[in-house]
Chains A and B, each alone.
Chain A
């Protein structure tokens, strides 16, 4: 299902930040922004929704803790109780490091998987990029052309050019791409 996007590319973050501010003030919805490195303050400028990724991280971490404690309790207390060095079967202090490690493991791996699933870059997705240079030396603002008529698209292009975009192009993608708010939730 082909889907068209307008990609405005800047060669520096400063004009891009300025463009974001002006475009939003004009009431135009920005689909996404793609930059080669994290830009300070871009979340505020875009008015992006706060990501729920950290909530997922907490849930995965808590799952890891519970899983570790459950496994060790089942093995050392119920399934095969053994006395080691005179310690009780349920020797919690000795299990803290293992619980901690499994918390970190579950949290890290789970958060990474959710991150890729949500931003459409997992192995299950047909991954496409708006422009290769957006991971190199260009800062891109993406607009969804399916939701605007040609007159509005021309207006956005004109604004981007006025604010210093070095290249403006229409990119046809094979699939609809998730917007920044969809990636955050």
Chain B
């Protein structure tokens, strides 16, 4: 076989294909209709509506953010093979500003519906006194200032990294490359800290009495696998439609390896968190799993099976990672799986909290008591712990997916699919692990 046959990939433009445009618009419209239907049937349960928005807007924001994490981490790692792929995660990063705005608005208008600690009189109602002790962390002022800082930093830094990369196309030489290195370091430094602290505010504080030191890594891994899965799907879609002709089985193989490896990393963290809490058996900590295990049993196990067993067993062999159909199938499964993972982060706590504050008849602290007893308060209807996944959740997911695809493919169509002046471009085109 010959080893010196490569040519430097040339500039390649992508036209937003009418099929994808139509698909993303249809998804948005159908999703919006289902979502509206869900809203009208759940007007009595605003917590469910707002948590749905929080769940979906954060999930797709996080997919964009982890895509940018992927690009920047590869940049400072001197990674050569990924260069031909990099424009796809960069385009996914193009959805960040819009998603951040939607997410920010959800926080502003939904805060009292989602977070127990944000409801009026939360500190006085809290029998454990923990919400009071966790001031000022669990206060609206701190929450909004911190959230604004996170979102602004994320939007500014990711768009700066993207702009620098696109500008490199019209600027020969290496200065943009060195700028990319510096920007990547800056972004990764900020992301390393804020990806953890932001999720404490936005998701962990939904269960204000509970805490986990693994939470930041675990939720990051969850979103990262979803980001990688979305990258795989878009790359395979473009490759199958005649674009990105320099992307070979080798690149798909490596993307598959990332998806496989981080599915295992996610499982490691998920299990570490579960096992330590299960073993120590401290009520303050086990309450989190007690709720999910008893009231969300199907989703609880589906989460583990879809996000661990599927990628682990299906993507184990080298041949499987080169099979476009199999990689696509696993990618779709883990995208659904991690959506369920985030659902389980947000919903059980938020739904429980909503009862805590709205059904006042049984006294101020009844929810703490009925939680264990199955909700047979005096003269009350049986307490709902789990709304399941209905029109509302599915509609929102479809709507946000459509929006995400629309934004990503519009960003893709604005610039070359090939970063023509990147110094590692040839290396990426020559990439081979010779494993099959």
Residues of A within 8 A of B (CB): 17, 21, 40-41, 43-45, 85-87, 93-94, 96-97
Contacts and interface: CB of A to CB of B under 8 A. Distances in A.
Nearest to A85: B281
Nearest to A42: B434
For the complex of A and B, the 4 pairs showing the least CB-CB separation, nearest first, are: A41-B434, A93-B275, A44-B434, A93-B278
5 contacts: A17-B3, A85-B279, A93-B271, A93-B275, A97-B275
Given A21-B1, A40-B432, A93-B271, 8 more contacts: A41-B432, A44-B1, A45-B1, A85-B281, A93-B278, A94-B275, A94-B279, A96-B271
B274 interface: yes
Nearest to A41: B434
Interface of B: 1, 3, 271, 274-275, 278-279, 281, 432, 434
Nearest to B274: A93
Contact of B279 (A40, A41, A45, A93): A93
A122 B48 CA distance: 65
Given A45-B1, A93-B274, A87 B279 contact: yes
A43 B275 contact: no
B140 to A, nearest CB: 38
Contacts of B278: 93
A64 to B, nearest CB: 17
B272 to A, nearest CB: 9
A43 to B, nearest CB: 6
A42 to B, nearest CB: 8
Contacts of B281: 85-86
A21 B271 CA distance: 49
A130 to B, nearest CB: 24
Contact of B3 (A41, A85, A86): A41
Contacts of A93: 271, 274-275, 278-279
A138 to B, nearest CB: 21
A109 to B, nearest CB: 22
A44 B281 CA distance: 54
B93 to A, nearest CB: 32
A35 B299 CA distance: 53
Contacts of B1: 21, 41, 44-45
A43 B3 CA distance: 14
Given A21-B1, A96-B271, A43 B279 contact: no
A85 B271 CA distance: 19
A17 B2 CA distance: 10
Contacts of B434: 40-41, 43-44
Contacts of B3: 17, 41
A96 B432 contact: no
A87 B286 CA distance: 14
A76 B274 CA distance: 22
B91 to A, nearest CB: 31
